[in-house]
Structure 1
Amino acid sequence: MAIIAPDTTSASKNQNAFEQPRKDSTFKLRKRKTKRTLGDWVLLGAAVIVGVLIAAPFYLILINSFKSPGDYSNGGPLQLPTSLYFDGIGAFWERVDFPLKLWNSFFISATVSIFAVIISVFNAYAIGVGRVRGRTWIVVLFLLANVLPQEALLYPLYFMFKGVGLYDNVWSVIIIFTVIQSAFGTYLLSSVYGTFPKEILEASALDGASRWQILWRVVVPISRPTLSVLLIFFFIWTWNEFLIPLTFLVSNDNQTVPVAIATLQGDRLMDVTTTSASALLGLIPTLIFFLIFQRTLTRGITAGAVK
């Protein structure tokens, strides 16, 4: 008995004839999606210009940090250094005891960010989920702490910490910034917790969870992306603060990196290259911190945008 093999050639031809229009339509759809309009090119050009303007100061700091005073005098700030010059970085490192200033800034910023997030969670949970009376006015009072300029707070805070013996102490700055940052965190999280799904809270209460358990096992895990964003912002904001640390941290052992950089501006022995080196050393820690937590920041912002 002869065995007749199936006609695979005709089947493959039919399949190819069926897939060809699909490929053509997919190609046309992709081509249509990648076609840019005039508005897209304008936005792209504006983004490139803004990026160049932002990167220009960093470029100047970078090239002038490794430039000798002679190269700076002969070529100006825009010319590349003829040879790498590390004496400016070394001079700033030794003159201000940079490792100590780096530790002070890190300790203050990390402590403030952690305490401010914890206090913001407690306040927002009571206001947003607990639904306390006068919720709107309480949120407005917290918002005023961020609206008031820091210059208006210096005089009363100076006498307050002078009286309790915390003047020229890092804990005075930690307390001040914890209150300021937690006020903003409370304002933000209270609006987030105010729209928290009641079904989840009611289901947790029916399962026998207490308010404390609902907070730490339900509310905090769900809002973890938002809390991560607040933690990163609080750290960077506190690190870059200048006026209050300059006022309350007088001694050299308690100063932060921005204050150490500013105190050298009036030094007669300072030159432009050493100043650029100090700015570079003060920038590197925050840049490393941002690069480490960049993915966490992106996820937190995306999770907050998509409900």
Structure 2
Amino acid sequence: MTSTLSTDTEVVAAPLVKKPARKRGGPKGKTPGDWAILLVAILLGLLIAVPFFMILLNSFKSPADYNANGPLSLPTGLDFGGLTNFWERVNFPEKLWNSFFISSVVAVAAVLISMLNAFALGIGRVRGRTWIVVLILLANMLPQEVLLYPLYFMFKSVGLYDNQWAVIIIFVVIQSAFGTYLLASVYGTFPKEILEAASIDGASRWRILWRVVFPISRGTLSVLLIFFFIWTWNEFLIPLTFLVSNATQTVPVSIAVLQGDRLMDVTTTSASALLGLLPTLIFFLIFQRTLTRGITAGAVK
């Protein structure tokens, strides 16, 4: 009897050991669907990288090497003739400064105007807010081809044709239209308690904008600044139309100058594309962390 009780007591006191749950989808928990998505993403990345790889290959080839071996072969030797030719033919430092000046002024001015417009529409709650936002958005939805003739006639009459400020004014209006539409929806959901507390403390609307709204929305504004700079840098049609003289042209326009009707130097064109791509790539790498923080800022409360 004693032995039976002791045995039962030991059985009851023994801890229950659970088997570890088996993970699904392999050792790292990835399902076949995750691997398929990863494979598709890798293939898309490779397809996107192919043109850049070809530009890099052909930028350092001589014309004889390109004609003999084609565009997909590795260069037999490093030849900087295409880079030097493009640098000297179009005066690349001048075109680089023109693009940087136009893109910088447009990005800063468009972000500033977008913030002021969005503050009035999203927080000020003016009458007819929805219709005003739709009207502003139309400036960004119209094709650039439709705007060319009226803008040409207008800037020709005021003496701004073949002037960089004409391009700056056009892109400030276009980019700020998109920025106003985006920021107005963001500022429309701004916490009213913060604004009411600042107003009770005696802050004016101007002070609320710069001391309350601007610091909180700095991440979104930095994302807009980066995008406006890159978008303006890559614009081609309007700068080609309004910047006729060689001294006012931008980098994309100078690349198009190299292409003739019946003859095109592929190695020089590839070198020009490489030089035109590097500034935006460097700009993106410098502000990559700022861009990531700005995009993910709205996801964290």
TM-score, normalised relative to structure 2: 0.91
Q: Could you tell me how far apart the structure 1 residues matched to 2:216 and 2:192 are?
A: 13
Match of 2:103?
109
2:153 pairs with 1:159: yes
Match of residue 287 from structure 2: 293
Deviations 1:55-109 (A, max 9, x none): 0000000010001111111110000001000011000000000000000000000
What are the within-5 Å matches in structure 2 for residues 62-141 of structure 1? 62-141=56-135
Deviates further, 215-224 or 68-77: 68-77
For the residues of structure 2 that align with 1:147 and 1:185, how far apart are their CA atoms? 13
Match of 2:259, SS state, is: coil
Which residue of 1 is the match for residue 143 of structure 2? Answer: 149
Corresponding residue to 1:189 among 170, 173, 183: 183
Match of 2:29 in 1: 35
Deviation, structure 1 residue 306? 3.4
**1:172 is aligned with what amino acid?**
A
What is the aligned counterpart of 1:282 among 246, 271, 276? 276
Q: CA deviation at 1:34?
A: 2.4
Structure 1 residue 35, shift from structure 2 partner: 1.5
Q: Deviations over 1:160-213 (max 9, x none)?
A: 000100000000000000000000000000000000000000000111111000
Q: Which aligned runs of 4 or more in structure 1 are off by greater than 3 angstroms?
A: 27-33, 267-270
Q: Partner amino acid for 2:121?
A: I
Say whether 1:259 aligns with 2:256.
no
Q: Which moved more, 1:189-198 or 1:259-268?
A: 259-268
Which amino acid in 2 is paired with 1:131?
R
Q: Which amino acid aligns with 1:304?
A: G
Residue 142 (structure 1) shift: 1.1
Residue 33 (structure 1) shift: 8.3
Separation in 2 of the partners of 1:43 and 1:265? 40
| Greater mean deviation of Cα atoms: 151-160 or 264-273 | 264-273
Letter in 2 for 1:114: V
1:51 shift after superposition: 0.3
Task: Tell me which residue corresponds to 1:6.
Answer: none
* Paired AA for residue 45 in structure 2: G
Q: Deviations over 1:18-50 (max 9, x none)?
A: 9xx99x96x977998822111101100100010
1:236 aligns to 2:230 (yes or no): yes
What amino acid sits opposite 1:230 in the alignment? L
Take 2:107 and 2:27, find their aligned partners in 1: how far apart are those partners?
43
Cα deviation 1:121-158 (Å, max 9, x = unaligned): 00000000000000000010111111100000000000
SS in 2 for 1:208: coil
Distance 2:64 2:22 in 1: 60
Distance apart, 1:271 and its partner CA: 1.1
User: Any unmatched runs of 5+ in structure 2?
Assistant: 1-14
Gaps spanning 5+ residues in structure 1: where?
1-17
- Other-structure match for 2:299: 305
Q: Which amino acid aligns with 1:68?
A: S
Which letter maps to 2:204?
S
Which structure 2 residues correspond to residues 209-228 of structure 1 after superposition, within 5 A?
A: 209-228=203-222
2:25 touches 2:31 (CA, 8 Å); kept in 1? Answer: no
State the 1:266 CA deviation. 1.2
Find the aligned partners of 2:263 and 2:182 in 1 and give their Cα distance. Answer: 46
Residues 1:206 and 1:287: Cα distance change in structure 2 (over 3 Å): same
Q: Which range moves more in the overlay, 296-305 or 244-253?
A: 296-305
Please, what is the CA RMSD of the aligned residues? 2.0
* Matching residue of 1:3: none
Match of 1:246 in 2: 240
The aligned amino acid for 1:171 is: W
Q: Distance in 2 between matches of 1:252 and 1:30?
A: 64
How many angstroms does 1:304 deviate by? 2.5
Deviation at 1:264, TM superposition (A): 1.0
TM-score (norm 1): 0.89
Q: 1:174, 1:155 → 2: CA distance?
A: 17
CA distance in 1, matches of 2:95, 2:81: 19
Structure 1 counterpart of 2:8 = none
